[in-house]
């Protein structure tokens, strides 16, 4: 069986994936609801094999100087359905240093806690334009390594089933740096193997909420991102994670992208909803 992969011009069809054909049946028992959860460096991959994409270098919260959260994060034993790509809606900085990346993480946390009134950083992971990857919400790194999910505050009504990656910058008219993109590929490949999710689980924020995030240019790169992640998985013997697709009941709603969404620093569209497990505290 062959499959036509996603091909979409986000400039002409933002917020929709009409041109995509999907498999309606997943290949392999690893993708059924409630499937086996996979964990960190010694995780067991598809079909019981010891295969996994390596964990990229990720700086912990203590490394970048995170504040203590107001509340410990809510951790669930179920794997997330979606790997959600965001942009921070901030300047496309040319400072690619680790110190800048750490300052970015602190700024995001301060905004989410002090301006939004949330308990902590909303997303689970952050990638700077220099390609530095950082832990976001508390308990995220240990939970991912153990195949568990930290409930975040980054995609309204789906926080219980979505792990979020914030990518520094605003990608409405320009694309991400090579360093950021390469780190995003490595991060998504790792998450796909940890959670035993197909590459079709990699979606943009606008696929789940009515928002311009992650910007037309980064959103247009998602088909290539899935392909590059899939190639990495195939190279280590996990082609099934690339070939499989989401179940019909898992497919995102693809809401319409708003034409006039204002770009506010660290605020890129709906982040909390009434159906979220922790919508009251963020």
> Is there a domain that residue 100 lies in?
yes
Is a pLDDT exceeding 70 seen at residue 278? yes
Instruction: Give CA angle at 139 (138, 142), nearest 5°.
Output: 145
The enclosing domain of 133 has a CATH number of: 3.40.80.10
Is a pLDDT exceeding 70 seen at residue 277? yes
Reference 244, options 18, 24, 83, 78; nearest CA is 24
> Is there a domain that residue 198 lies in?
yes
Say how far apart CA 263 and CA 82 lie, in whole Å.
24
The mean-pLDDT minimum among 55-69, 87-101, 262-276 falls in: 262-276
For 150: left if phi > 0, alpha if psi spans -120 to 50, otherwise beta; the answer is beta
Domain count, the chain: 1
Say how far apart CA 88 and CA 267 lie, in whole Å.
7
> Is there a domain that residue 83 lies in?
yes
The pLDDT value recorded for residue 42 is: 31
**Band of pLDDT at residue 76, cut at 50, 70 and 90:** very high
Q: Which two tokens stand for residue 88?
A: 């921070």
DSSP letter (8 states) at residue 248: G
Is a pLDDT exceeding 60 seen at residue 11? no
pTM, rounded to two decimals:
0.83
Q: Which two tokens stand for residue 175?
A: 């694309």
The pLDDT value recorded for residue 26 is: 30
> Is there a domain that residue 43 lies in?
no
Q: Which two tokens stand for residue 9?
A: 């011009």
Say how far apart CA 46 and CA 53 lie, in whole Å.
11
pLDDT in tens, 186-237: 999 999 999 999 999 999 999 999 999 999 999 999 999 999 999 999 999 9
Reference 229, options 272, 264, 184, 259; nearest CA is 184
> Is there a domain that residue 6 lies in?
no
Q: What are the φ/ψ torsions at residue 134 (nearest 5 degrees)?
A: -130, 145
**Band of pLDDT at residue 50, cut at 50, 70 and 90:** low
Say how far apart CA 23 and CA 3 lie, in whole Å.
7
> Is there a domain that residue 273 lies in?
no
> Is there a domain that residue 42 lies in?
no
Q: What is the mean pLDDT of residues 167-178?
A: 97
**Band of pLDDT at residue 80, cut at 50, 70 and 90:** very high
Q: Kindly tell me the burial class for residue 66, based on how many C-beta atoms sit within 10 Å of its own C-beta (0-12, 13-18, 19 or more).
A: buried
Can you give the residue range of the structural domain that contains 209?
Answer: 56-65+73-250
Q: Going by DSSP bridges, is the β-strand pair 202-204/125-127 parallel, antiparallel, or unpaired? A: unpaired
Do residues 37 and 147 touch, judged by C-beta distance below 8 A?
A: yes
Residue 59 pairs with which residues in a beta bridge? 134
Say how far apart CA 157 and CA 208 lie, in whole Å.
9
pLDDT in tens, 81-137: 999 999 999 999 999 999 999 999 999 999 999 999 999 999 999 999 999 999 999
> Is there a domain that residue 171 lies in?
yes
pLDDT in tens, 12-43: 233 333 333 333 323 333 333 333 333 333 33
The pLDDT value recorded for residue 265 is: 87
Do residues 215 and 172 touch, judged by C-beta distance below 8 A?
A: yes
Query: CB 260: neighbour CB atoms within 10 A?
Result: 5
Residue-by-residue DSSP string for 120-147: S-SSSEEE-TT--EEE-STTHHHHHHTT
Size (the chain), residues: 282
Distances in whole angstroms, Cα of residue 164 to Cα of each of 139, 153, 198, 219, 279: 14, 9, 16, 14, 16
């Amino acid at each position: 069986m062959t499959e036509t992969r996603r091909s979409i011009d986000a400039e002409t069809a933002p917020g929709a994936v009409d041109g995509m054909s999907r498999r309606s049946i997943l290949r392999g028992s690893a993708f059924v609801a409630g499937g086996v959860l996979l964990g960190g460096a010694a995780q067991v991959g598809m079909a019981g094999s010891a295969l996994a994409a390596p964990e990229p270098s990720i700086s912990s919260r203590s490394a970048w100087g995170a504040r203590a959260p107001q509340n410990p994060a809510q951790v669930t034993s179920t794997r997330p359905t979606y790997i959600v790509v965001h942009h921070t809606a901030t300047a496309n900085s040319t400072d690619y240093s680790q110190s800048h990346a750490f300052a970015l993480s602190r700024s995001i946390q301060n905004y989410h806690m002090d301006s939004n009134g949330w308990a902590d950083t909303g997303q689970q992971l952050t990638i700077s334009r220099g390609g530095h990857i950082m832990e976001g919400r508390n308990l995220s790194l240990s939970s991912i390594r153990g195949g568990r999910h930290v409930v975040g505050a980054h995609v309204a009504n789906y926080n219980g089933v979505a792990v979020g990656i914030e990518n520094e910058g605003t990608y409405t008219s320009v694309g991400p740096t090579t360093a950021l993109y390469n780190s995003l590929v490595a991060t998504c490949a790792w998450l796909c193997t940890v959670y035993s999710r197909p590459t079709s689980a990699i979606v943009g924020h606008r696929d789940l909420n009515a928002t311009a995030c992650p910007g037309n240019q980064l959103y247009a790169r998602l088909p290539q991102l899935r392909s590059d992640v899939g190639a990495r998985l195939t190279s280590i013997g996990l082609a099934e994670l690339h070939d499989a697709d989401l179940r019909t009941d898992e497919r995102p709603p693809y809401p319409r992208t708003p034409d006039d969404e204002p770009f506010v620093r660290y605020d890129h569209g709906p982040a909390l909803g009434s159906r979220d497990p922790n919508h009251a505290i963020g």
